[in-house]
Every structure is written in C-alpha cells, then in structure tokens.
Amino acid sequence: MTTTRFAPSPTGRLHVGNIRTALHNWIYARKAGGRFLLRIDDTDAERSEERYVEAIRADLDWLGLNPDAEMRQSERFELYQNRFNLLRLSDRIYPAYESAQELDLKRKIQLGRGLPPVYDRAALSLTDADRARFKAEGIQPHWRFKLDHDAPIEWDDAVRGPQRFDPATMSDPVIRRADGTWLYMLPSVIDDIDMGVTQVVRGEDHVSNTALQIQMFQALGAEVPRFAHAALLTGNEGKLSKRLGSLGVDHFREIGIEPQAVRALLARIGTSDPVEPVADMAPLIAGFDFSRFGRAPARFDEAELAQLNARILHQTPYIMVADRLPAGMGEAEWEAVRPNLSTVAEAADWWQVIEGPVDAPEPAEDDRAYLARAAQVAETIDWATDPWHALTAALKDATGRKGKTLFLPLRLALTGRAQGPDMAALLPLIGRDRTVARLNG
C-alpha cells in the first residue's frame, strides 16, 4: 500500500512551507488510495514542546489533512537502539571523539587548502588503546554512519529526475551525539522502514540527506522508498523569505483565509497547472502529478491567496458558513452579499446594512426631492417580485433620470455605500419599511 508521512518537529508552529509538504503527502496518499501518517519528530527533548504537538494536530485538522495514524519518535527509542546495535555489528557505524572545535579546525584547514570540508575518517584509525584512553578521560564518543564509497548513490527523483552522488565526496554523517541523543538522519530511516513508508515527499533542501539515507536503508536490509523533492517556496520579492517562516494557520485564520484557499494555492503553485478557486479536494487530488512540478522555486504571494479566497467564497454555499454568520442572517442574505466578500467576516458589515441603521451621507441638494419622490414610489410598488427594478423604472419615467444619476443616490441612501451587492438582490432583504424610512432620511 502507498504510504506517505509528514514528520514535523514540535519546536515551533507549522509555517506555509511545512503546510505545503503536508498537503503534498496527503494528496499523494489519497490519490493512490493509500495511507497518510503523521510522525512527531520529537527526539530533541530540550526544544520539543507539547503545546506545539497540539498545535500541529489542530493546524492539520483545520486544513482538512487528517492523518490515518500518528507516531512519536520519543516513544521509539528502544527500536532505534536495536537497529543501532545491528549497524555496530555490521561495522556500518563507528565512534568518533573529536570535539566541535577540533572538527571546525579541520574544516578550516581543508578549505584553506582548496579541499572540500569532508570528514577525514580519522576515528577509523583509532586503536582499542586509544578508545580506552578516551574512556578513562571521561570523553564519550559521538557516532558516525560509515558510507560505502564503492558505488555511486543514485535514484530517480519524481520531481528532479535522475540523481547521482559520489559518497567519497560526502562526510560520514553523525547519527548520535556524545550524550546519547539522536540526530535526525537514522531515526527517520528506521521509522520509515517500520511504518512501511513507500514515498518520501519533502523539500529540495533534503536532497543531500536523501543520498545519505539511501545507504542507511540499504545497510538495514530494507527496500528504499521512492523520493520526490519539491522546489522550495520563495516570497513575493523573489528570494527565500524569512516572512514565510512566520506565515501559518493562525495568521491565515486571523486575516480571514479559508482552508480551501490555502489548499487550492499550495497544491498548484510550482506546477504547470493553473491555480483555480477549487473548494473541493477531488479535482486537486485527481490532477496531482509530480511530473507537473517545476524545478524553479515556487513563488508564494499573499495577494494571490487573498484573491483566491474571495473567488472561493463567491461560490461557497450557505451551509458551509452558516455557523460563522451573524445571528439571523439566512441563506438569501448570504447569497446576496457573497459576491462582494473577501472574507466571511465581512458578511457582518453587509448584515448591518440590511438590518440598519445605515450611516448614509448627506444627499446633494438636487437629490433631496428625488429621494423623497423615491420614498413615495417605494410605498406603492409591488414588493412581491422585483422591487428594485420596479422602483427604478418608475423613477426613470417620473424624473427622466438614467444611469448614475438614477441609481447612485438610491444606493447611497439605502446602504450608505457607493458600491456593493446587486441592489436587485439586496432591496427585498432591506424591505419596504426600512427602504421608505432611509429614502426619507
């Protein structure tokens, strides 16, 4: 079965880049009829916080990206230790004793000589006596995974195409610190194996990690999953933006963005498919294909998201928003005002226009008699069918006005605004009594 996973660290809130990764994994699993798993990567006990775990769950729920199961790395340390022991027995990991300062000095020397800063594997030359001496001095080792230099690391990436890395140009990665805590690389591989992950979908900043992890899958005798590395998001200014790291669900909710708009934008930006106001996930799932993803960075534009949000609202049925509308506002009112909304919260402003009172501007001198005449006509027309067109037709015949001079004074008096929803839809909701009162000033 196709299985994907989203693996955030609970050291902060999800941002728009994380959300896009979660969405890609969710969509891919749903299209394949597979499973989408949430894995909380909380091996860093000092920085991980339970409030962020809860926030991650809440954010995914708001986005409609509910996982089929959840795991936590902090509950799987025994599994990691068992696999660690196996790798020791097969000589694929080894202890190293250099301090951070010593490693930094080595890198500077290599760079100064025009060489790549690759770990020199000095720890492999240590004798049992050397290791005993370090132990007697209280120096604990960190542990490195020993890369196999005999063959290139290759895979066919679903987004980037054929990839090839020479392991001899890469440092043996540190997988465990001297204090016994785990780094990201090995536990992630062990979990992917144990969880049956078949497709790893993540950002292109993980490409070099993938090269290292492929050898870890192989060293553990596991089938290597397929990989897809999407290009990273950039800000509107055309470069990686710190602001993107602060844009998350809380921000989107605060400015009135609907989850449907977030999904519709993030599912399509960076692909050859057009971004469309799609509220239903079905077409996004059906059209999802990594071959449509481009290699260029994907530009995230808040203005585009806001426009998309408005277009989605304009086709959103009343039942989807009823619990967020002002008390008393029904389906007719929603359908009348939604073409003018950018956010659901703006519906309250138009509900106030319907219910009143309305703060209308003082009419121009030559409009006073016209509005008084309009009030008289409003009392006599048939309100059961189309009162707006009945009112304006009668006023056009009686006054000779047309165009802006016919319509604008009425709209201003009735709504207090020069623009807004179609008055043919709005006037029946305002009703005869309120219309007459507002026209009379």
- Output phi, psi for 212, to 5 deg: -65, -40
Residues forming beta bridges with residue 72, ordered by sequence position: 40
Specify the residue for token string 């990991």. 93
What's the N-to-C CA distance of the chain in angstroms? 69
Question: What's the rounded Cα separation, in Å, for the pair 35 and 26?
Answer: 8
Pair of tokens at residue 355: 């219910």
Q: Which of 54, 144, 64, 53 is nearest to 97 (CA)?
A: 144
What Å distances lie between residue 38 and 103, 363, 377, 419, 433, CA to CA? 35, 61, 64, 47, 57
Pair 174, 144: CB distance under 8 Å: yes
Phi and psi angles of residue 202, each rounded to the nearest 5 degrees, phi first? -160, -175
Give me the residues paired with residue 298 across strands: 233
**Alpha-carbon distance 374 to 360, whole Å?**
16
d(CA 389, CA 10): 59
C-alpha–C-alpha distance, residues 222 and 194, integer Å = 10
Q: How many CA atoms are closer than 13 Å to the CA of 288, on its beta-carbon side?
A: 22
Long-range contacts of 242-246 (CB under 8 A, 24+ apart): 244/15, 244/16, 244/17, 244/300, 245/15, 245/17, 246/15
Residue 167: cis peptide before it, omega within 30 degrees of 0: no
**Tokens 């009735």 -> residue:** 414
Residue 146 is assigned to a ligand binding site: no
Contact 186, 176 (CB under 8 A): yes
Per the annotation, binding residues are 242
Per the annotation, binding residues for ATP are 242
